[in-house]
Structure 1
Amino acid sequence: MTDYGHTLRFGVSIDPSASDFPEALSLARQADAAGLDLLAVQDHPYQESHLDAWTMLTQLVAHTERIAVMGDVLDLQLRPPALTAKAAASLAVMNGGRVHLGVGGGASAQGVAAMGGRPRSAGDTIAFTEEAIGIMRGALEGGLVQASSEQHQVAGYRAGPIPPEHVGIWLGGQRPRMLRVMGRVADGWISPLNIYVAPHEVPEKQEIIDDAATAAGRDPKDIRRIYNVLGAIGPFRGGQGLVGPVAEWVETLASWAVDLGFDTFVFWPITDAEDQVRLFSDLVVPAVRDRVASLRAERGTTLADADADAEGSLA
């Protein structure tokens, strides 16, 4: 059992398909009006049908009022870290801080190479990603940013603007070496979809992150954890992921919070997104909050100190 005690956050995945952008924008506005916390956009720029993730994130921010946005996850192989941090800082300045950096080492080596990216071995990708996070963190804090290694050359960039509040750097991945990077240097873990990282696999991965964090002198409780949840709410049969009535969703997400350690859930509906997000925001989310609060009271779990700093922050 692992519960890190963070305030729960809930979001929805926004489809980056170019042909469906009007529907995506409408769904984003719906999620914002419903009080959800996060709009997450996947980043596969080598897909000809997909919009550029950063461009889409800026549009989502421009057409919403309070909800935050995040790449889920941005491909660092195709996005130089200093420029990625510049983009995040710029968006945070323009929208009052409603942006978080979700990044990864690159899901498709073939896709990266097709767009002109440098092919890297698995080991090089690990080193590249860890160094990239260091560069981004320095750039987000301002001042002179320099790096000279086999993976990165930054000759001396005077970083700015500085975001109005901390921009968290979340790392996606599931393999042990990348999870150790997450524990050492990232603000949070973005787990792949529940159909790729099944619930029974999560404890081992959380342990890897926690051990790496402890070895690096960090408190594992300071690290946030996102689960991408594919599924459908209602009397459906078949379909991938979590499929079932509201009560099943409530009990499952509550268990994943207090037993698996996740504090943020991003919903990927597999049918009728508008109706599914309505059910999620109106019925599932408040009930999960109540259920988790009750379980934590029974177990004597207290909210982590990190949540007292800024209500609504994912950092």
Structure 2
Amino acid sequence: MSDYGHPLAFGAFLTPGNAEPGRVVGLAMLAEQVGFDLVTFQDHPYQPAFLDTWTLMSFVAARTGTVRLAANVTNLPLRPPAVLARAVASLDLLSGGRVELGLGAGAFWEAIEAMGGRRLSPGQGVRALAEAIDVIRQVWDVDARGGVRVDGEFHRVVGAKRGPAPAHDVGIWLGAYKPRMLALTGRRADGWLPSLGYLQPGDLGRGNTIIDDAAREAGREPADVRRLLNVTGRFAPVGRGPLHGPAEQWAEELADLALSDGVGTFILGSDDPEDLRRFAAEVAPAVRELVAGERAAGAAAAVTPATPGAVEARAAPGGAGARPPDAARPPAGAAPLAVVPTPDDGVRRSAIRLWDEATRPTGPAPDPARTYSPHDQAGAQHLVDVHDGLRAELTRLYDLVEQVGAGLVDAGTARSHINTMTIRQNKWTLGTYCESYCRVVTTHHTLEDRGIFPHLRRGDDRLAPVLDRLEQEHHAIHDVLERVDRALVAFVSVADGMAELRAAVDLLSDTLLSHLAYEERELVEPIARLGLN
């Protein structure tokens, strides 16, 4: 088993079709809105039905603000490495450090030859890729003396000026399957990026072994190489095979790949918006929780000291030094609650007040002596993470309104973007947390018959006044969102439509930020204490 301990990341793998050029851009924007860490695109320069990947990535970088971007993977035989290095560094600088470099040795050689590229044998392709990595890294290394010099079999650069340097340490990820490519990955690359559909059972383990051995021989640590994986599948009510079933099944299978085969980044190959939403809202959080729980349990077991007399104490219940029964012992890794709610800054933009914050009920005071397991804390932390995503979407909504006011985006396009946001997709009468998470953690139950609010009511009836108030506020937020939508519709026909639109968004900001802070303040501890099912 190989768990390299990498922080988990989740990405999308999109088709750059040119029949509807705006569609792939919209999918990339949606991926950012629903919380993906990474968006990647196929790179097949010989495919006339596709947009050019690097042109597309530049356009997407300008339309997004946080998500990282990469080709999956760049077709090296048609992209000279010195020019590619400058393109990568330039886009990384323009995007604020959001570009990574996936590289492949080449495939579909007839199409590559038709475009003017050179056909290479598998061995030649590996050597050409190794030379290209040398060129790229030298171009980026602006602190070294002299020009770029690689006098290779396939790539020859004789004194080219260095630079620009990227905004961050760009990762070079190789699409590798065969031993020579895997060994090159271990020696020189920052990541291994295969596709699960091209692998046979055991290939991940065998590939890890080759990469790890090559890394050690090169004086590197195996964990220096991130393990990424393109995955595809189908969501279904019941399991029908690997990655073909409900979100809970997906989460368990991906968590196993993370813990057993060291995969730290999962990239979903799908152009279906609903697949992207479900993967981000249901699968990714559950995988994070499962992996965090297993890692915490393993760490706790690893640091537990073997004290003298422990065996005798276990053999003599009730005797001196005897351990308490399991029910009385805190879980492994238990600690005081470390989840910090995001506070309300108290700033209000609108003169309208939909509720009196002073009348909000409060729940029971937490027990200061209580401890919580990593699993407990992960559930509570996810509430804050989901809310932080909604706060980020509110910022993007303001940006959209300003674009509408400046004439850069029409009202219809703005409505379309807003309607794909989680902030709009949430069924607010059920609660933001339920909509994005409850389906994952209530195995064998539907969202309607067993959400988090009913579970908390059953677990602690003292929370009832708080939950009642939160549900009332959910209805109010739904109405405010409808007001924003009406203001967008009216914008094109009302003389002072921009003022009305800004007022509607200001009211949304006031109500949403106030509500999210209140919900976190009251529910973070109960979620950690009572769990989710």
Secondary structure of the residue aligned to 2:106 is: coil
1:151 to 147, 150, 154: 154
Match of 1:216 in 2: 218
Match of 1:168 in 2: 171
Return the alpha-carbon distance in structure 2 between the equivalents of residues 283 and 237 of structure 1: 16
Contact kept? 2:69, 2:99, Cα under 8 Å: yes
Return the alpha-carbon distance in structure 1 between the equivalents of residues 67 and 242 of structure 2: 25
Return the alpha-carbon distance in structure 1 between the equivalents of residues 30 and 119 of structure 2: 40
Per-residue deviation, residues 126-171 of structure 1 (Å, max 9, x unmatched): 1101111111111122252111122111121112211121111111
Contact kept? 1:230, 1:241, Cα under 8 Å: no
Read off the aligned partner of 2:13 and give its amino acid letter: S
Match of 1:225 in 2: 227
Match of 2:55 in 1: 55
Bigger Cα Rg? 2
Question: CA 1:289 to 1:226, structure 2 compared with 1: closer, same or farther past 3 Å?
Answer: same
Read off the aligned partner of 1:197 and give its amino acid letter: L
Match of 2:192 in 1: 189
Query: 1:200 deviation in Å?
Result: 2.9
Return the alpha-carbon distance in structure 2 between the equivalents of residues 277 and 199 of structure 1: 26
Return the alpha-carbon distance in structure 1 between the equivalents of residues 23 and 225 of structure 2: 33
What is the 5 A alignment of 1:1-315? 1-142=1-142, 143=144, 144-191=147-194, 193-235=195-237, 242-269=243-270, 273-300=272-299
Match of 1:308 in 2: none
Percent of aligned positions that are identical: 42
Query: 1:241 deviation in Å?
Result: 6.3
Unpaired stretches in structure 2, ≥5 consecutive residues: 303-533
Per-residue deviation, residues 240-276 of structure 1 (Å, max 9, x unmatched): 962110110110110000101100000013xx71111
Match of 2:479 in 1: none
Secondary structure of the residue aligned to 1:77 is: helix
Return the alpha-carbon distance in structure 2 between the equivalents of residues 67 and 103 of structure 1: 19
Contact kept? 2:135, 2:148, Cα under 8 Å: yes
Q: CA RMSD in A?
A: 1.7
Contact kept? 2:77, 2:106, Cα under 8 Å: yes
Contact kept? 1:228, 1:268, Cα under 8 Å: yes
Question: CA 1:92 to 1:122, structure 2 compared with 1: closer, same or farther past 3 Å?
Answer: same
Read off the aligned partner of 1:145 and give its amino acid letter: V
Per-residue deviation, residues 186-235 of structure 1 (Å, max 9, x unmatched): 011111x2111145321001111111111111100111011000112233
Return the alpha-carbon distance in structure 1 between the equivalents of residues 238 and 106 of structure 2: 34
Return the alpha-carbon distance in structure 2 between the equivalents of residues 82 and 199 of structure 1: 37
Query: 1:21 deviation in Å?
Result: 2.6
Contact kept? 2:239, 2:246, Cα under 8 Å: no
Return the alpha-carbon distance in structure 1 between the equivalents of residues 238 and 70 of structure 2: 30
Query: 1:20 deviation in Å?
Result: 3.4
Contact kept? 2:134, 2:150, Cα under 8 Å: no
Return the alpha-carbon distance in structure 2 between the equivalents of residues 20 and 251 of structure 1: 35
Secondary structure of the residue aligned to 2:83 is: helix
Return the alpha-carbon distance in structure 2 between the equivalents of residues 13 and 263 of structure 1: 16
Contact kept? 1:77, 1:112, Cα under 8 Å: yes
Contact kept? 1:229, 1:241, Cα under 8 Å: no
Aligned residue pairs, count? 298
- Higher mean C-alpha deviation, range 272-281 or range 181-190: 272-281
Secondary structure of the residue aligned to 2:29 is: helix
Return the alpha-carbon distance in structure 1 between the equivalents of residues 219 and 137 of structure 2: 18
Contact kept? 2:43, 2:75, Cα under 8 Å: yes
Q: Which has the higher contact order (CA 8 A, sep 6+)?
A: 1
Per-residue deviation, residues 71-90 of structure 1 (Å, max 9, x unmatched): 10001111111111100000
Read off the aligned partner of 2:266 and give its amino acid letter: F
Match of 2:487 in 1: none
Return the alpha-carbon distance in structure 1 between the equivalents of residues 201 and 288 of structure 2: 20
Read off the aligned partner of 1:214 and give its amino acid letter: R
Match of 2:441 in 1: none
Q: So what's the TM-score if we normalise by structure 2?
A: 0.54
Return the alpha-carbon distance in structure 2 between the equivalents of residues 20 and 293 of structure 1: 40
Runs of at least 4 residues off by over 2 Å: 233-238
Read off the aligned partner of 2:46 and give its amino acid letter: Y
Query: 1:237 deviation in Å?
Result: 7.9
Query: 1:291 deviation in Å?
Result: 0.6
Return the alpha-carbon distance in structure 1 between the equivalents of residues 296 and 20 of structure 2: 43
Secondary structure of the residue aligned to 1:116 is: coil
Read off the aligned partner of 1:201 and give its amino acid letter: D
Return the alpha-carbon distance in structure 2 between the equivalents of residues 58 and 100 of structure 1: 13
Query: 1:111 deviation in Å?
Result: 1.6
Return the alpha-carbon distance in structure 2 between the equivalents of residues 135 and 255 of structure 1: 37
Match of 1:305 in 2: none
Unpaired stretches in structure 1, ≥5 consecutive residues: 303-315
Q: So what's the TM-score if we normalise by structure 1?
A: 0.91
Match of 1:309 in 2: none
Return the alpha-carbon distance in structure 2 between the equivalents of residues 171 and 138 of structure 1: 18
